């Protein structure tokens, strides 16, 4: 295997400048420290040797071809909003930003799709669709994330219950492979059984297999009305037990969010009559199953205030603690209450306060571990590592998975093999080598070879 990688020289820097532009390349101490990490510095702070902002597919291809021939690692970076230490230069080399590749092309009404470059922001893609009376449903909490980042991590979010994940909305991907080859995965078609489904393999691969340069996304007709309900309960168990009751109703919720003893439920509909029927059924079911009340946020302003509270939870936890660690497991929905109760016991047994929240409609519980001022660095590190080990074991026992939406990156790498098994790790390595036989693209993420 090609470790160690080549240390870059002035000759390498000059080549990157020659295929891009002098004013879009930074080297060494010129590189801003914000590019050393993503939103979770706990998962690694690594300086690149060169940072370059590319503007088109041909620049990406030229850089990758040169890096491949010269054994230089490359990490592709979008908006830097990841939470798994995924877009960091663990082995130095080149950090390649695609944020200048942000074009959004006109909506294709005949196919109900929109095509954009990877640096386009999620909120801008959603706005472009909405301006044409259409709807791009994937709705992760960070709206300033790039579309490329959303696709390469298969972002989920709060509306996954009704609409699914990012993978469900990707029709076509144009990408550059580690050797500089330009590839097209699928096309703007509704169904495709032509060979292996490489498109769906690339989605969620965390930048370890290729670099996206263009993506076509499916759109839906925009819902004409929506409503949000807040259902407070007296206990965690009652709250969790309400989830299957909501899902058993003859109306599919758009989102079901969990705040320990409160559920937030959203419905979208194409008519006011349909919406009123869904809201009435949900409210009656909630009160029949022990809800203290059922508050209906039936105006856009009221609904926005509810979702603003949900969206601000992580920032509130940051303000209320010295440091944070998150366990991003997903478990079967029937096991939510069992997992949350056990998770609180596990963390508390190691001196850590834990606040669970998340997308209970799909079982993705964010177990937020919060560090108090009394804990030393060493105590915090030891307690979180032990807690995570036990929480991942609990998830596996309940039939869950290691990560529901944040990915493996660098932060969960050490836990992966024990969770999925040695045979699966060998399969992952084979897939990585099929795309990247020299291991230059985002090395040391998702799967590690030099152990």
The answer to whether the beta carbons of residues 92 and 7 sit under 8 Å apart is yes
Instruction: Work out the pLDDT band at 451, boundaries 50, 70, 90.
Output: low
**Mean pLDDT of the 61-79 span:** 97
Of 158, 145, 164, nearest to 82 by C-alpha is 145
Residue 122 confidence (pLDDT) above 70: yes
DSSP state of 376: -
- Alpha-carbon distance 199 to 188, whole Å? 12
**Mean pLDDT of the 341-346 span:** 90
* pLDDT value at residue 2: 54
**Mean pLDDT of the 25-37 span:** 95
Residue 99 confidence (pLDDT) above 90: yes
Residue 269 confidence (pLDDT) above 70: yes
**Most confident of the ranges 35-49, 244-258, 427-441:** 427-441
Helix or strand (DSSP H, E) at 77: strand 74-77
Of 398, 391, 393, nearest to 363 by C-alpha is 398
Counting residues of the chain whose pLDDT is more than 90, the rounded percentage is 72
Whole-number Cα distances in Å, 204 to 160, 191, 342, 375: 15, 20, 29, 36
Q: Does residue 6 come out as left (phi exceeding 0), alpha (psi in the -120 to 50 range) or beta?
A: beta
Give the three-state DSSP class for 305: helix
Tell me: the pLDDT tens digits for 206-226? Answer: 999 999 999 999 999 999 999
- Alpha-carbon distance 401 to 421, whole Å? 12
- Alpha-carbon distance 68 to 49, whole Å? 16
What are φ and ψ of residue 257, in 5° steps? -110, 150
Whole-number Cα distances in Å, 357 to 129, 137, 426: 30, 21, 34
Is the C-alpha dihedral spanning 346, 349, 352, 356 positive or negative? positive
* pLDDT value at residue 142: 83
Structure tokens, 90: 């663990």
- Alpha-carbon distance 173 to 168, whole Å? 13
Instruction: Work out the pLDDT band at 49, boundaries 50, 70, 90.
Output: very high
Helix or strand (DSSP H, E) at 295: strand 295-297
- Alpha-carbon distance 324 to 83, whole Å? 12
**Most confident of the ranges 81-85, 125-129, 312-316:** 125-129
Q: Which residue has the tokens 């996206």?
A: 212
Residue 356 confidence (pLDDT) above 90: no
The answer to whether the beta carbons of residues 297 and 303 sit under 8 Å apart is yes
Whole-number Cα distances in Å, 171 to 116, 132, 364: 12, 19, 25
CA atoms lying within 13 Å on the CB side of residue 320: 12
Q: Does residue 268 come out as left (phi exceeding 0), alpha (psi in the -120 to 50 range) or beta?
A: beta
Counting residues of the chain whose pLDDT is more than 70, the rounded percentage is 99
What are φ and ψ of residue 227, in 5° steps? -150, 145
The alpha carbon torsion through 278, 284, 289, 291 (nearest 10 deg) reads 100
- Name the β-bridge partners of 53: 97
**Mean pLDDT of the 141-150 span:** 91
Tell me the pLDDT of the chain averaged across its residues.
92
Of 393 and 333, more confident: 393
Residue 3 confidence (pLDDT) above 70: no
CB atoms < 10 A from the CB of 307, how many? 18
Of 334 and 277, more confident: 277
* pLDDT value at residue 4: 86
Whole-number Cα distances in Å, 255 to 145, 147, 268, 278: 20, 21, 9, 13
The answer to whether the beta carbons of residues 117 and 98 sit under 8 Å apart is yes
**Mean pLDDT of the 112-119 span:** 98
Whole-number Cα distances in Å, 264 to 237, 249, 256, 257, 295: 16, 16, 6, 5, 10
Minimum mean pLDDT range among 51-55, 185-189, 196-200, 209-213: 185-189
Angle at which helices 272-288 and 236-248 pack, to 10 degrees? 140
């Amino acid at each position: 295997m090609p470790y160690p990688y080549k240390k870059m020289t002035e000759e390498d820097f000059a080549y990157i400048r020659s295929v891009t532009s002098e004013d879009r390349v930074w080297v060494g101490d010129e590189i801003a420290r914000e590019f050393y990490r993503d939103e979770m510095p706990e998962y690694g702070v690594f300086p690149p040797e060169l940072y370059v902002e590319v503007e088109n597919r041909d620049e990406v291809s030229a850089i990758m071809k040169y890096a491949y021939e010269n054994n230089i690692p490359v990490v592709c970076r979008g908006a830097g909003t990841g939470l798994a230490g995924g877009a960091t230069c663990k082995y130095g080399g080149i950090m390649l930003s695609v944020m200048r590749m942000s074009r959004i092309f006109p909506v294709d009404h005949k196919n109900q799709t929109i095509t954009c470059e990877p640096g386009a922001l999620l909120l801008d893609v959603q706005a472009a669709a909405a301006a044409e009376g259409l709807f791009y449903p994937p709705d992760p909490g960070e709206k300033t994330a790039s579309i490329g980042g959303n696709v390469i991590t298969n972002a989920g979010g709060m509306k996954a219950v009704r609409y699914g994940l990012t993978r469900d909305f990707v029709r076509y991907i144009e990408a550059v492979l580690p050797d500089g080859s330009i590839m097209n995965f699928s096309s703007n078609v509704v169904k495709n059984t032509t060979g292996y489904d490489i498109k769906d393999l690339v989605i969620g691969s965390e930048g370890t297999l290729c670099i996206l340069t263009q993506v076509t996304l499916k759109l839906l007709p925009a819902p004409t009305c929506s409503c949000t309900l807040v259902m407070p309960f007296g206990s965690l168990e009652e709250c969790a037990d309400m989830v299957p009751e909501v899902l058993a109703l003859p109306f599919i919720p758009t989102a079901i969010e969990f705040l320990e003893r409160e559920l937030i439920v959203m419905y979208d509909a194409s008519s006011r009559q349909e919406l009123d029927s869904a809201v009435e059924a949900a409210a009656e079911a909630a009160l029949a199953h022990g809800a203290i009340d059922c508050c209906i946020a039936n105006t856009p302003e009221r609904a926005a205030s509810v979702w603003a509270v949900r969206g601000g939870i992580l920032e509130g936890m940051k303000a209320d603690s010295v440091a944070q660690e998150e366990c991003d497991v997903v478990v079967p929905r029937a096991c939510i209450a069992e997992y949350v109760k056990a998770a609180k016991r596990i963390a508390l047994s190691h001196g850590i306060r834990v606040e669970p929240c998340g997308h209970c409609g799909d079982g993705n519980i964010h177990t937020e571990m919060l560090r108090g001022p009394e804990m030393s660095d060493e105590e915090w590190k030891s307690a979180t590592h032990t807690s995570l080990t036990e929480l991942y074991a609990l998830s596996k026992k309940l039939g869950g998975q290691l990560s529901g939406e944040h990915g493996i990156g660098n932060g969960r790498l050490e836990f992966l093999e024990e969770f999925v098994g040695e045979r699966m790790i060998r399969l992952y390595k084979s897939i990585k080598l099929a795309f990247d036989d020299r291991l230059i693209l985002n090395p040391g993420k998702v799967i590690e070879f030099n152990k």
